[in-house]
């Protein structure tokens, strides 16, 4: 008998920021500003991921604003010294799961030592997202210690 591991609807704490370009009628350069699309700032639990074993996690979301997405903030932690690299992608979604189509990617070196904090993930080439369309934040951890993701499950 084959066992299946199922994770019930986990919401990694995140904040989506969409870049909106404002332009003026005069011949002035465009000014880019950031607009908060959505956020989940409370959590009910956490889980750790290790390099190589359950090192990839994803969270789907539906864009509320059409525009470019230059940044995601994740609430992360580490309980011991170490450190590592978090690769974060924005992917398309098919049947409720990331579809492998990478719309934006970046690698972030995370601090060594014990911490719990918001980490801003900046995409050099932002993803273009469309309001009402589902996307996934896909994170892959490569480090010497467990990385802790904080989340809120439905109903929490």
Q: What is the pLDDT of residues 18-33, one digit of tens each?
A: 443 322 333 334 445 6
- Measure the CA–CA gap between 12 and 51, rounded to whole angstroms: 18
Q: Which DSSP category does 131 fall into?
A: T
- Measure the CA–CA gap between 96 and 103, rounded to whole angstroms: 17
Tokens 């350069």 belong to residue:
29
Query: For the segment 87-124, what is each residue's pLDDT rounded down to a tens digit?
Result: 999 999 999 999 999 999 999 988 777 778 888 999 99
Average pLDDT, integer, range 34-59 = 73
| 150 neighbors 13 (Cβ within 8 angstroms) | yes
Domains belonging to the chain, first-starting first, are: 10-153 (2.60.120)
């Amino acid at each position: 008998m084959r066992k299946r591991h199922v994770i019930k609807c986990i919401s990694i704490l995140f904040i989506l920021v969409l870049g909106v370009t404002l332009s003026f009628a005069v011949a002035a350069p465009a000014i880019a500003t950031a607009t908060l699309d959505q956020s989940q700032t409370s959590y009910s639990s956490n889980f750790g991921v290790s390099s190589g074993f359950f090192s990839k996690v994803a969270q789907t979301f539906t864009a509320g604003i059409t525009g470019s997405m230059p940044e995601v903030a994740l609430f992360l932690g580490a309980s011991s010294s170490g450190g590592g690299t978090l690769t974060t992608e924005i992917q398309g979604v098919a049947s409720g799961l990331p579809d492998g189509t990478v719309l934006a990617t970046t690698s972030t070196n995370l601090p060594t030592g014990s911490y719990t904090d918001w980490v801003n993930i900046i995409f050099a080439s932002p993803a273009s997202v469309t309001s009402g369309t589902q996307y996934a934040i896909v994170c892959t951890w490569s480090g010497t210690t467990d990385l802790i993701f904080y989340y809120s499950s439905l109903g929490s």
